[in-house]
């Protein structure tokens, strides 16, 4: 299949008026539409544009930089964020050893695991986190957090994600996985 508008027009016309075309022409169009792609080459192209090392290291560094900036602005000691690895498959690579921030500026979580997000957020609100299911721990999310907003508002926003349910009981944030799997790209 070529990429031209002419091919598209030809395809549409063949679809609307197949009677105007010889069988061989229709066959040729079908051959083109059903041509087997080179899947390995396609995967390599996909990998090249979605390489984990390149993108996620930037992301993690950006997150670390944002935390550092937020903490410096707040004048609070930032104990340590260790970047152990930059591989995306290991989101636990961001190890928050001791973090007691009281940031006031918005924090942007860009592809950060829910586990890491809640570690930071719960510390800020002086809550603990209990994952009743393990799967949500590894969910990676993109969202901003306004530290001076109410915790309940932040939990509401997390609850808008399919398959996720968070509730606050006493001083503990409980996280469970719901049965809804309706992610639609």
Give the binding site for another protein (CB under 8 A). 1-3, 7-8, 11-12, 14-16, 18, 23, 26-27, 29-30, 33-34, 36-37, 39-40, 42-43, 45-46, 49-50, 52, 88-89, 91, 111, 135, 138-141, 161, 163, 181, 183-185
Q: How far is the CB of 86 from another protein (least distance, A)?
A: 14
Closest to 147 measured CA to CA, from 175, 117, 171, 111: 117
Q: How far is the CB of 2 from another protein (least distance, A)?
A: 7
What is the spatial distance between Cα 172 and Cα 136, in angstroms, rounded to a whole number? 16
* Choice between 73 and 108, CB closer to another protein: 108
* Choice between 32 and 171, CB closer to another protein: 32
Q: How far is the CB of 82 from another protein (least distance, A)?
A: 21
What is the spatial distance between Cα 158 and Cα 160, in angstroms, rounded to a whole number? 5
* Choice between 23 and 80, CB closer to another protein: 23
Q: Which residue has the tokens 């290991």?
A: 90
Q: How far is the CB of 64 from another protein (least distance, A)?
A: 20
What is the spatial distance between Cα 41 and Cα 23, in angstroms, rounded to a whole number? 32
Would residue 163 be called left, alpha or beta, if left means φ above 0 and alpha means ψ between -120 and 50 degrees?
left
Q: Which residue has the tokens 């598209």?
A: 8
CA-to-CA dists, residue 2 to 11, 33, 35, 52, 170, angstroms? 11, 10, 12, 31, 62
* Choice between 36 and 169, CB closer to another protein: 36
* Choice between 62 and 138, CB closer to another protein: 138
Q: How far is the CB of 103 from another protein (least distance, A)?
A: 25
């Amino acid at each position: 299949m070529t990429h031209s508008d002419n091919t598209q027009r030809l395809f549409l016309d063949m679809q609307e008026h197949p009677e105007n075309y010889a069988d061989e022409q229709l066959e040729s169009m079908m051959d083109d539409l059903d041509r087997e792609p080179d899947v390995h080459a396609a995967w390599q192209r996909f990998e090249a544009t979605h390489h984990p090392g390149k993108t996620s290291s930037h992301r993690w560094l950006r997150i670390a930089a944002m935390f550092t900036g937020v903490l410096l602005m707040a004048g609070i000691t930032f104990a340590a964020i260790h970047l152990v690895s930059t591989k995306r498959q290991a989101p636990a690579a961001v190890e928050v050893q001791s973090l007691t921030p009281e940031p006031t500026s918005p924090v942007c979580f860009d592809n950060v695991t829910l586990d890491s997000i809640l570690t930071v957020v719960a510390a800020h609100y002086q809550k603990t986190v209990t994952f009743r299911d393990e799967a949500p721990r590894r969910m990676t999310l993109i969202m901003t957090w306004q530290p001076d907003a109410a915790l309940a508002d932040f939990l509401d926003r997390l609850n808008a994600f399919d398959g996720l349910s968070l509730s606050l009981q006493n001083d503990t944030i409980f996280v469970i996985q719901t049965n809804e799997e309706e992610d639609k790209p």
